[in-house]
Structure 1
């Protein structure tokens, strides 16, 4: 058996449903004085699956808290069978889990569970994202007054935005505190949740509707600071510039913004 054939056979064994090895593959190996070939291959098979389960438990701890160990293990096992690890880094193993949950559970249960999984995956993405060049208050203090009206910003790469239709943040916080499960509830209205990394720490918070619209206008639509003030004037009248500056200052302190490329 050539080396490439042996490697492919070993990979197939690890990915197979059963830990019983193919007889031709097993015959190409030699056992030891204390461990025969079939037992050794079964150990590798089970250890590989156990490692994948471990990764999912780590990345989706709040989901495990909600479902319990046995139900989460069953979900993870079904997910691994459907979507085997296809990347050299296990960091991407859970990428499809939120979508898989929508397929795996009945509709009335799947939506809040999938939203929690998306929140947890957002933390993973935020933690690993590029740093970007966050604007600071000192940067803004040095900005000439004539440049303020045309100021345009965007979000730093680590910022993840999630529409929460359920009390997902409360469930996530309870899992971290290991406190009593709060139970899933609908939110009315739904909220935008931000997850981002600032100074090597992942942060999160929800946005009130007015702030969410203002941020979307600047970072998605591309409003200038002058356009932001004009839009806010509809609601805040003469207080629009103050409200715009208040939000902008908060976003800068939180490390959310960087200058938009020309």
Structure 2
């Protein structure tokens, strides 16, 4: 089966490509650096021609409100047109658990618009709602960092390994369209401030974690339900402690 992975060279996309190739599928890693651009349309029709499934794990390069909205709406419009032309039978897209509860953020309003566009498309679809990735924890620390402190809410979340996210996306790609949403999450829940603090301690990072009920998560005030999955979420198998000691951090820029 031919499967096109939009964002196929990124953190999740590259893993999805590897998994699907390992299962014997013809997989195209579609991204600007491979000559496929969903914003300009460059290379898009040629990449998708003959594909049965398109997987979209691409993310906006900017979290700024208008830039994110423009990215997801333009990419979505171009993808739908190319998929209809090619007769694609299944569109799989990665989104975020709690998107509908995080609408104070322009980025999550853009993600909600992306989801609405997918649902309105004539292409059968599966939406994967994933919790935050373990690989994102250092970025969360950076978002709350100020003068040697990291101020974060004490709200619960249930993060998961990027490899488990990719496995869930790859499984959806070779399964019949759900025409609905599947939630995936990590095996355990944690307070955000405590888990980020464990990463900083492991890194020997001197910044001090401060639990602050007024601290925002990328512009959004959280409660204990904001980022948590529902009771039917499919749980990844990678435990945080294993991930922390076995998955190297990204190189410092």
Q: Do they superpose with TM above 0.5?
A: no
Higher helix share: 1
Which of the pair has more CA radius of gyration?
1
With structure 2 as the length reference, what TM-score do the two structures score? 0.28
Higher strand share: 2
With structure 1 as the length reference, what TM-score do the two structures score? 0.27
| Greater relative CO (CA pairs within 8 A, separation 6+) | 2
